[in-house]
Amino acid sequence: MKPDTRADPSRQALFLDRELSQLAFNRRVMAQAEDPAIPVLERLRYLCIVSSNLDEFFEVRVASLLAAASVDGVLSEHPALTANLNRVAAECHTIVARQYEILNTEVLPLLKENGVHLLRHTERNDAQRAWIREYFEREVRPLLTPIGLDPAHPFPQVVNKSLNFIVALSGKDAFGRGTAIAIVKAPRVLPRVIRLPDELSTTPGVSFCLLSSIIHAHVSDLFAGREVMAYSQFRVTRDSDLWVDEDEVKNLRQALKGELLGRQFGRSVRLEVAKNCPPELSQFLLDQFNLDRTRLYQVDGPVNMVRLNEIVAHTRDPALIFGPFMPGVQPTGGDIFATLRKHDLLLHHPFQSFQTVIDFIRSAAADPCVVAIKQTVYRTGMNSDLMEALIVAAKLGKEVTVIVELMARFDEEANINWADKLEQAGAQVVYGVVGLKTHAKIALVIRREGPPENSTLRYYAHLGTGNYHPTTTKFYTDFGLLTSQPEMGRDVNEVFMHLTSLAKPQKLHHLWLAPFALQNEIIKAIRNEAKIARGGKPGRIIVKVNSLVDESVIRALYAASGDGVKIDLIVRGACTLRPGVPGLSENIKVRSIIGRFLEHSRIYYFRNDLAHDVYLASADWMSRNLFRRIEVAFPVLDRALKRRVIAEGLNPYLKDNTNAWELDGSGNYQRRKPRGKQAPFSAQRHLMATLGTADA
């Protein structure tokens, strides 16, 4: 077993705990749910986001910690790892308790005041109860398979994050035996939130009930002749990392198809039960899933709060959600290739529409002068206009090459489906480099231009900080650059050649490519600022990323701070750098922005003696991004666009005094508020108003 470096006191003085920092991000998201200025359905949505984030945290981070602390599946006696697991568990319990407190004492009562009712069995009127009984008999009961546990009916396989019930029974079963416990699985095909007919309600508004509440109300009907003594809903969360033997596997896509089935039954890492679940039932479940009591979460509400998003989706009152927002459209003059020959285009999503990128690929697919299209796919969703355009291009005989990342966590199935469809259309599909996720967001169009006797090939490229995903582009902040600059195009093509041929990439003129050069280039740029500062000139670094945990980069930032470089870091999520520590990082400030949109863009700014170097990137400053992924950082070369990135992607976020949280050297975040006569300023509202059309 590798030594646990977290036990090193000197290391602890330099770096904050990664897991606790990640959980602190969820506290900041939860603060949005506590904010009375935010519409109540949006507050509910933030609670659901916290639940979704915690699900992934347990499936990935906690699962990884448990694996590191275990030998042959049994927790070992390793004080440092055990202490860290206990700290993480304590913080998770605190967050979950507060989450349900907000739901029950603030959000649900406020929804009720506004005519949105989530009804428990005791709150439903006679007509609603009659309708629910009929619904249960017609839609639910035929799909249930109660399992009374005995040697011939062992504890069933329980799917990751599925809704289930444990029932304690008294009396004899039909065969004269005293089966004491039964398990009921909620059918996965049924909605978890059911809207009740409006005509049944005696109060204005809309009424909903949970599937779990319906099954609770009628659980005794499933066990005729028996008395239900106690019952509880429960949900188990499992390790969801996929594993394939990369030395043995012959076809990654086929191997992953098999692994996806197994993901549902990985190692158990968390058990959720209802708050009133009797101790003996919760202990029985813990024993079944081989979990200790620190992994038990007793919740005062649905065990899967994410499902309450369905209430948001089915409630149409505009007063209860954020005001409408229409992104701005970047003019392309009708012929996007002609426009790009004149100048680059910078897109700032979601404030500016992603439709320009879709039109770029669609135009390429239909253009007879386009001979080839190449694109990476990390996340694109089940429905994608971009993927459909690539399929059209392939069917029209163009050379279409798509690098599909099959190991994009939780998007594997969608990506496998697109890979199948693309291959059937005639596209060349490869899966990047085994062992390295292809996380770069790049597309290349190669067009034959000029008279037939003297034609040449010209490159048109799109490089972005975010995914080619039709949904997330509406809610994630990202930058995209469309360019026809020859050297940039050649660099992008060289990256594609590297990914398909596996040959060593030739020297790139502009791009920083991971895992080969990205970390070195970042550290080199940081050290250059330090050198400038030591020479008596201003050193300045501003960075916006989602996570900052790479220790080599952090050490370089500490050193630059000691040389007098002024450093501002805008880090949305986990940050293990300690800012503002005398003698270590007194020139470093860290802030996090949590707002209507998920901050996702990665921007690296280095003053570089007034050269003002600006890089956009797919990579956060994490070791996995710098060494275990194919990532691209690309410069913005056009001076006007460079100024735009600074003016839109950095300066407003440093000015924000409403959605900004500042980190101190102890790992605590404090929310910024306007001081004195300062006017409130939100970066996201500012960008919505200046780049789009919004009721911000």
Residues forming the active site: 439
> Would you give the DSSP letter of residue 3?
-
DSSP string, 649-675: IIHHHHH-SSSEEEE-TTS-EEE----
Element (H or E) spanning 4, and its range? none
Contact 46, 107 (CB under 8 A): no
Helix %, strand %, coil % of the chain (to 5): 40, 25, 35
Q: Which residues pair with 207 in a beta bridge?
A: 117
Beta strands in 549-635 (DSSP E): 566-571, 588-593, 598-599, 602-606, 613-617, 629-635
Tokens representing residue 174 in the block:
């039909």
Contact 523, 552 (CB under 8 A): yes
Q: Which residues pair with 206 in a beta bridge?
A: 116
Q: Please calculate the CA angle 493-497-499 and round it to the nearest 5 degrees.
A: 115
Q: Which amino acid is at 152?
A: A
| Strands 268-274 vs 296-299: parallel, antiparallel or unpaired | parallel
- The alpha carbon of residue 55 and the mean position of all alpha carbons in its chain are separated, in whole angstroms, by 11
Q: Which residues pair with 195 in a beta bridge?
A: 208
Q: Please calculate the CA angle 159-250-404 and round it to the nearest 5 degrees.
A: 70
Q: Which amino acid is at 461?
A: A
Measure CA of the first residue to CA of the last residue in the chain; give whole Å: 53
CA distance 147 to 149: 6
Q: Among candidates 432, 429, 444, which has minimal Cα distance to 372?
A: 444
CA dihedral defined by 652, 653, 656, 661, rounded to 10 degrees? 180
Q: Which amino acid is at 696?
A: A
Tokens representing residue 331 in the block:
């003019």
DSSP string, 6-44: GG-HHHHHHB--HHHHHHHHHHHHHHHHH-TTS-HHHHH
CA distance 372 to 299: 54
Q: How far is CA 541 from CA 163, 314, 612, 632, in A?
A: 48, 45, 10, 19
Q: What are phi and psi of 467, to 5 degrees?
A: -75, 160
